[in-house]
Structure 1
Amino acid sequence: MTYTERLDLTERGGWVPARLTPETGQLLADSGVVEVRPEAFDPTHWQVRALTKVGAVRIAGVEMSIAPKIPIGRLFFLLGYAADPTRGWRVEDEPVDAGAHKGVVPALAHVFERLADRALRQGLLQGYHAVEDALPIVRGRIRTADQMRRRHGIPLPMEVGYDEFSTDIPENQLLLAGADRLLRLPGVPVPVRHRLLRLRTRLAEVSRLVPGRPLPRWQPNRLNVHYQAPCRFAELILNGISVEHRRGDVRIDGFLFDLAKVFEDFVCTALSEALRPYGGRCRTQARHYLDEAGDVLLKPDLVHYADDGTPLAVADAKYKAVRPEGYPEADLYQMLAYCTALGLSVGHLIYAKGNEPQARHMVRGAGTMIIQHALELDEDPSRILRAVERIAGCLGSGNKP
């Protein structure tokens, strides 16, 4: 009997048949990456459906490629804008074509390699970094405490610390770590893999990051302008999106984007930028409480405050499939709680797509209006941003319905 070793799925797509052992089917179900259900007539026949995570993973010997419903290029626009609203993943001369590859992982590797290659065309960035060493001569400053603790009065070698000018700096370390991580992922096209290997060779003098430790910190400045996009992209690859862990007894290896989180980050960043002309300040995931005792915590995605801290507007991003008959009612109850706790008469729900561009609900007996907006992510990025600006105008217009 031949069991399924690879599944090609689409985010929130239809059910796909698979032949799995009961143990493998249960492990897929426990992973939280996909939804599975057994067929009644045969314990080796299963149905598998993707949720909101896209990318490539290997679970219990089954390799799964999950494609987003939106174009790959649009996904990378959302990611890039959330990371840097002023530039995204663009470089000075032209944008990187994320849509040249169909799958998430191939496109991810392609974009990163192109950005890193363009950054390194000007030569490896150099800078000062702190070095601690034991030397036969004094260089920099003597680390007296370490000298006493390690040498017990022996004068040489000397424990010293000094700043060295080299290529072994955080920016290059991030690029090397990003290339290493991508080379371990399944589904990277052979030509892109070869270019990543060449990139890694160019960074041969750079030290590798220690797994489990925080990523090195770097600061954008005029000297590393050409490095900023690939460094942010490397952080995206290394910081919480790559999956290599256990969920209960399930081993998960691969790389996933949670589109619900991607959409939330984009909306909060883009809306905060669009609200700047209206003054005040925006905070994401601000902590508020529904009850006087402070037992019921509320964390709306974005709150727009006046300079004195008074809440002016509240918005929540909702990336989910919309029912044929309308928006989910539970979201309305949640937004009503936000408006009640913040003392606002209007609340805003922002969806990834919808059956109508806008819906308004006046809550009976409360004097609260809840407005539901929809962003069509299949549109050109400029049109998406204009739609966000219109929503910001609704939030910033004195909260008038």
Structure 2
Amino acid sequence: IFTQKILDRARKGFYRTYLSKTDNLTYIRGRIDMPQVVQKPWDVKLKCDYQEHTGDIPDNQILAWTLFVIGRSGFCSEQVALTVRKAFHFLQSLVNLQPFKSSDCVGRKYHRLNEDYQPLHALCRFFLDNIGASHQPGDRSMLPFLVDMARLYEKFVAEWLKFNLPSNLRIKEQEKVDIIESQIYCRIDLVIYEVKTGKVVYILDTKYKLDDKPSTIDINQVVAYATYKNCYSAVLVYPQKLIHPINQFVLKSKVCLRTLIFSLDESLEKAGQKFLDELLEFSDYK
């Protein structure tokens, strides 16, 4: 949203305004400082007061600094990082890069020529504050947006496991599985491998939703993934306890299906460790 709006503004042209400047010039520009000329008649440079039409103003500098911070954060995917660099390139040729605080993004004056900067500066404040979104009401205006919580939950579980799995296990996210080569494929949320043998030991499918029990579609999906990868342990991961959890072998299959909880309602470290202990229970990978 942020970079696309900046690119849209770049196509229309960034906001510029006139700034008062005073310089010693070899030519006349604007108004000459006559007292200085009288005092120093030998000086070949004339002190001039003039107005310069420029885009190197705080409105644009704030955008450039925010893009710079986002670009060096390391949180962007390759595609997003490319868009960030493209937007920053447009502004880099217009402004001098200088740091800003999130508080610099509020209380600014807007009018007909720069009113579309208001939502941009609101987003700048969001990024510079380095604070995630909250469902609680605040006292600042903000551009509305949607968060893909299912994907965010999956990424969170994956990142936690990357740092906490035993050294003899590794995790892979969004592994591509070809159903019909080069035509139809699917992606498995999380696949856990044994490092030494490369064997798939767990298939994890995260489900950010509140259900009494797993749906037939979810069960069929994770069991199909496990069967395809020759894995005997398929796990559906939920953020809250189910009324009817599952821990049993699938009929006419060697796949053991389980539902486990990685709760978000308590200490994340404790919840994660409890989830990991239950995941590795009865295994040799602890």
Q: TM-score if structure 1 supplies the norm length?
A: 0.36
* Structure with bigger RCO (C-alpha 8 Å, 6+ apart): 1
Q: TM-score if structure 2 supplies the norm length?
A: 0.49
**Larger CA Rg, structure 1 vs 2:** 2
